[in-house]
């Protein structure tokens, strides 16, 4: 029952984000962001399933390959929520950052890393078995491995940097959207290499 509740909640949250984007951003930006986010989530999690040092998904109602369906919606929603909130924060407190390519993505990364804590700990990801980390994972911050906030932050930073870059290209909105969706495959590779690097550093320092 937990898995079904989590899946429906994540899908509803993503739907609300899609509606917000459709109303306040261009339609092709919306398509690019959420299709790209879905592809990122599903392909990335299928690759993660091949890496025994990371987490697994034991019990979900719907899968695409080894990835629960909710992960495509979950990554999309978390990226979008952190991006929109971070954009507002930058406008209010540090407008000059909006002129830098890394400004909003950096704040989004920080917010995404912070978001991982309530999701993993307060919301009980380990208790509800959204995903399960192996015993070899370093347990800090209650039941959350140290790598988690870095993983969320890195994914958000890469996704938003590539998204903003792709959508600013001097092509048609449709072509920019398709370019970004394909580019998410590159983002996945960079992010997994980043994760392995961060995990190695954590192992060395602990």
What pLDDT, on the 0 to 100 scale, is given for residue 42?
97
Total residue count of the chain as it appears in this document: 206
Is the predicted pLDDT of residue 118 greater than 60, yes or no? yes
More confident residue, 203 or 105: 105
Q: How confident is the model at residue 50 (pLDDT cuts 50, 70, 90)?
A: confident
> Which has the closest alpha carbon to 51: 199, 203, 204, 206?
199
| Phi–psi pair at 137, nearest 5 degrees | -65, 145
| Phi–psi pair at 199, nearest 5 degrees | -65, -40
Q: Residue 124 contacts by C-beta under 8 Å, 6 or more apart in sequence?
A: none
Q: Which of 65-69, 75-79, 125-129 has the lowest mean pLDDT?
A: 125-129
**How is the chain split into domains, by residue range?**
2-205
Q: Residue 162 contacts by C-beta under 8 Å, 6 or more apart in sequence?
A: 180, 183, 184, 186, 187
């Amino acid at each position: 029952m937990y898995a079904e509740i989590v899946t429906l909640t994540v899908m509803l949250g993503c739907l609300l984000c899609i509606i917000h984007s459709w109303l306040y951003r261009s339609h092709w930006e919306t398509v690019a962001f959420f299709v790209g986010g879905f592809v990122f989530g599903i392909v990335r999690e299928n690759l993660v399933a091949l890496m025994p040092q990371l987490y697994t998904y034991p019990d979900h109602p719907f899968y695409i390959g080894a990835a629960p369906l909710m992960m495509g919606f979950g990554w999309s929603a978390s990226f979008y929520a952190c991006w929109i909130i971070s954009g507002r924060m930058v406008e209010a407190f540090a407008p000059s950052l909006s002129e830098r390519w890394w400004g909003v993505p950096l704040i989004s990364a920080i917010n995404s890393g912070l978001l991982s804590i309530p999701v993993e700990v307060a919301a009980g990801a380990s208790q509800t078995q959204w995903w399960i980390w192996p015993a070899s994972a370093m347990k800090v911050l209650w039941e959350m491995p140290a790598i988690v906030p870095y993983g969320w932050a890195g994914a958000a930073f890469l996704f938003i940097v590539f998204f903003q870059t792709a959508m600013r290209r001097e092509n048609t909105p449709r072509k920019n959207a398709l370019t970004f969706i394909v580019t998410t495959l590159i983002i996945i590779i960079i992010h997994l290499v980043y994760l392995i690097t961060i995990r190695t550093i954590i192992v060395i320092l602990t």
